[in-house]
Amino acid sequence: MPKFESNLKRLDQIVTELEKGELPLEQSLTLFEEGVQLSADCRKELQEAEGKVEILLKQGGKLQAQPYEAGGKP
pLDDT tens figures, 54-63: 777 666 666 5
In this prediction the pTM is: 0.69
Gap between the Cα atoms of 42 and 5, Å rounded? 9
- Is 1 or 33 the better-scoring residue by pLDDT? 33
Average pLDDT (40-44) is 94
Q: Is the pLDDT of residue 26 over 50?
A: yes
CA atoms within 13 A on the CB side of 37: 7
Q: Would you place residue 30 in the very low, low, confident or very high pLDDT band (cuts 50, 70, 90)?
A: very high
Q: What is the pLDDT of residue 74?
A: 47
Amino acid type, 68: Y
Cα dihedral across residues 37, 50, 5, 16: positive or negative: positive
